[in-house]
Structure 1
Amino acid sequence: MNTFIFVFLLSTPGVTAVLHTLRYFHTSSSDVPNFPEFVAVGYVDDVQMGHYDSNTKRVVPKKDWVKDAVGEEYVERLTARAMNNQLQFKAHLEILRQRFNQSGGVHTFQRMYGCEWDDETGEVYGYHQFGYDGEDFISLNLKEKIWIAAKQQAFITKLEWDNNKAMMSYRKYFLTQECPEVLKKIVKAGRSFLMRTDLPSIQLLQRTPSSPVTCHATGFYPRYAEMFWRKDQEEKVLEGVDHGEILPNHDGSFQMSVDLNISLIRAEDWSRYDCVFQIKGVEEDLTVTLDKSVILSNWRKSDGGVVAAVVVVPVLVLVAVVGFVTWNKCSPARCPSGFTGSHTSDTSSSSTGESDPNKETSEEQREMMTLSS
């Protein structure tokens, strides 16, 4: 089994547009000890706004301003959706195990859907995708109104869903109208929290005298940040550098690291190297000079003669799910067509009446039932 981690990768630094996201993650799992068989979480701009699991059977808003923005009625609707999905996902997990000729063991069936809104251009993007055991299964191309089967076992589902015009009409309504409107309300209510800038604490770490020196930054927000090693305050160091991913902390902030292979550097040249941290919205860089006296390690004594504690980069906290699979590693607005589905800036609803939001429960049930065909 693959090890699942919930990751948010850095989007392109320097982007001037303010892109807000509302995303829902559903995970159904089998044979995972001490973990709910179904978990649903919602995120706005990478901040967890709500949580549901099969033990509590209740959507719980994580921020007061989120609940105030969407209202109790919307929370109840999300709870009803989650309870329905819990039952459906359990059945479909078994169906998919049969399709893939698998017996017991740990398996996951996951869905990610939501929308993005550019508050400068007004553009709206919607996406909806499913994954099984850490890989793409099927995803929506909303612009073309078709589903993309990533696995042979998903082709029968694609045929059913492509022919379900009512479900497609509802899906378009939700992704291009309801979801963006909810997102706008939440952003407005939580703007002071979502638009804040928190600077990180930065430390140099080293496991052994011959290990690379790790420059580790933690506690920063937002995630639009970059960190690199620089020589002589002029150029980025490319040789002997290993860039880590941006990972979420339990408190909603982020951490990242970048390693420097010191075996390639002469001792007298250490002071020529700096670790540089840059974050969107802050002009001044944060820098730490490569210096043995400031490196934390588990092998060298501090000035006071006490052995420093073992330094371990914090393990990524699994945020309310076993971990969202690797098929969510890129921003939906930047993934190639067929991976998460194409964008659409079309915010008009269908004139047939089939996209009535009051039909959402039945359409969700129809969508999920056809997966079992």
Structure 2
Amino acid sequence: MVPVLLSLPLLLGPAVLQETGPYSLIFLYTGLSRPSKGFPRFQATAFLNDQAFFRYNSNNRKAEPLGPWSQVEGMEDWEKESQLQRAREEIFLVTLKDIMDYYEDSAGSHTFQGMFGCELSNNRSSRAFWRYAYDGQDFIEFNKEIPAWIPLDPAAAITKQKWEAEKVYVQRAKAYLEEECPAMLKRYLSYSRSHLDQKDPPTVTITSHPTPGRNRIFKCLAYDFYPQGISLHWNQAGKMPASESRGVFPSGNGTYLSWVEVEVPAQDRDPYFCHVEHSGLSQSLSVQWDETKEQKPKARWQLGLSKSLSLRDVRES
């Protein structure tokens, strides 16, 4: 488990190029023992792929659709969903208290996080998971093959005992992952597939700046693309010089950005190309750095990058 769970690009694994699908339904829960001003004690966000489509928190206690899903009629009974989230909130916060009691730290500031969901590939269930973390460390996870809850922290033995007090609860967890979650995802997709299948090609700009020595750093920035899977690398004389990729980040408006840098020796006059592959492009793209046509990224993307980095604990996610 990633120490801080609420970063969807990390949750979904490395960015890869893929055709339409697979599709995923993921729930992220966070409970705080001592919430600061502006942060609820409990909040839940549900994602279809990497897009947040509803949110619930302990302040208003309502599950509310987000983004384009707020305009969709009949996708979910939001009052019924609110009732379900209230019940989960109660269990979630009781578990947080149990952990703090185990460690005899009732006055401390602690975080309990949960992540569970499923994935469909070619209209068949391909992956399902359910796990929790305490203060960013693995706590307990469900193994649906056994089936059983597997403790990953000393305090989790008590949680396992409570959650497995009756065998029916274990079977319900297994049924949720293998049957209920995939069925729910299929139902949501009937309303959402066109939105999730959108493909926005990247806009690419190249800039350069000198290093403390005489060399230069070429930076290839791709932004405004969706989905997140992208391949960026530098090419020089048919070779791939050593470069540094910065990963893929949400830009704050539902798209992503990424960049890759390469250090160029001062005496090197050969042309450098940034090679880009993305499902939104009809074919791969090669952009040559040209000092006479060097473009500066738009200011809003510089601001968007700063914002996205500060919101990696969701953004989303």
Q: TM-score range, shorter-chain basis? A: 0.7 to 0.9
Change (3 A) 1:218 1:163: same
Of 73, 81, 85 in structure 1, the residue corresponding to residue 84 of structure 2 is 81
State whether structure 2 residue 263 is matched by structure 1 residue 289.
no
Secondary structure of the corresponding residue to residue 252 of structure 1? coil
Are the structure 2 counterparts of residues 46 and 223 from structure 1 closer, same or farther at C-alpha, using a change threshold of 3 Å?
A: same
Question: In the alignment, is residue 18 of structure 1 matched against residue 21 of structure 2?
Answer: yes
Question: Aligned residue for 2:311?
Answer: 318
Structure 1 counterpart of 2:138, which letter?
Answer: D
Query: Which one of the candidate residues 222, 226, 245 is aligned to 2:227?
Result: 222
CA contact (8 A) 1:31 1:107 kept: no
Residue matched to 1:60: 64
C-alpha distance in structure 2 between counterparts of 1:138 and 1:4, whole Å: 14
Contact 1:69 1:185 in 2 (8 A): no
Is 1:123 paired with 2:118?
Answer: no
Query: How many corresponding residue pairs?
Result: 304
Superposition deviation, residue 310 in structure 1:
11
Are 2:140 and 1:138 aligned? yes
Partners of 2:79 and 2:301 lie apart in 1 by 47
Does the Cα contact within 8 Å between 2:27 and 2:44 map onto a contact in 1? yes
1:93 partnered with 2:85: no
2:245 matched to 1:243? Answer: yes
What SS does the aligned partner of 1:76 have?
A: helix
- What's the counterpart of residue 268 of structure 1? 268
CA distance in 2, matches of 1:254, 1:235: 27
Query: What is the CA distance between 1:201 and its match in structure 2?
Result: 2.0
1: CA distance, partners of 2:118 / 2:160? 22
Change (3 A) 1:5 1:78: closer
Pair 1:50 & 2:54 matched: yes
Per-residue CA deviation, residues 124-162 of structure 1 (Å, 9 max, x unaligned), is 432111111112111111122122222222123234434
Q: CA deviation at 1:207?
A: 6.8
Q: Structure 2: how far apart are the matches of 1:200 and 1:102?
A: 49
TM-score, scaled to structure 2: 0.82
Q: 1:87 to 1:212 in 2, by over 3 A?
A: farther
Task: State the Cα deviation string for residues 106-130 of structure 1 (Å, max 9, x = none).
Answer: 421111111111125x234321111
Deviation at 1:37, TM superposition (A): 1.7
Cα shift at 1:255: 1.8
Could you tell me how far 1:36 is from its partner in structure 2? 1.6
**Separation in 2 of the partners of 1:243 and 1:104?**
42
Are the structure 2 counterparts of residues 105 and 259 from structure 1 closer, same or farther at C-alpha, using a change threshold of 3 Å? farther
CA apart distance, 1:206:
5.5
Quickly say closer, same or farther: Cα 1:153–1:230, change in 2 above 3 A. farther
Q: Closer, same or farther in 2 for the Cα pair 1:3/1:125, shift >3 Å?
A: closer
TM-score, structure 1 as length reference = 0.71
Post-superposition offset of 1:23: 0.7
| Structure 1 partner of 2:181 | 179
Q: Work out the CA distance in 2 between the residues paired with 1:142 and 1:225.
A: 33
Task: Please give the alpha-carbon distance, in whole angstroms, between the structure 2 residues aligned to 1:94 and 1:205.
Answer: 52
Instruction: Identify if the C-alpha distance between structure 1 residues 273 and 186 changes in structure 2 by more than 3 Å, giving closer, same or farther.
Output: same
SS at match of 2:31: strand
On the 8 A contact 2:5/2:113 being kept in 1, the answer is no
Query: Per-residue deviation at 1:38?
Result: 1.4
Q: 1:258 and 1:319 mapped to 2: Cα distance?
A: 19
**Paired amino acid for 2:288:** T
**CA 1:100–1:90: 2 relative to 1, 3 Å:** same
8 A contact 1:228–1:276 mirrored in 2: yes
Is this contact kept in 2: 1:216–1:257, CA < 8 A?
yes
Which of the two has greater strand per residue?
Answer: 2
Q: Any unmatched runs of 5+ in structure 1?
A: 298-307, 325-373
Shift of 1:59: 0.7
Unaligned runs of 5+ residues in structure 2 are none
Change over 3 Å in CA distance of 1:71–1:86 after alignment to 2: closer
Q: How well do the aligned residues superpose, as a CA RMSD in angstroms?
A: 3.2
**Secondary structure class of the residue paired with 1:123:** strand
Mapped contact 1:206–1:296 kept (Cα < 8 A): no
Identity of aligned residues (%): 23
Cα offset, 1:48, TM superposition: 1.0
User: Could you tell me how far apart the structure 2 residues matched to 1:58 and 1:96 are?
Assistant: 27
Output the CA distance in 2 between the equivalents of 1:35 and 1:50. 17
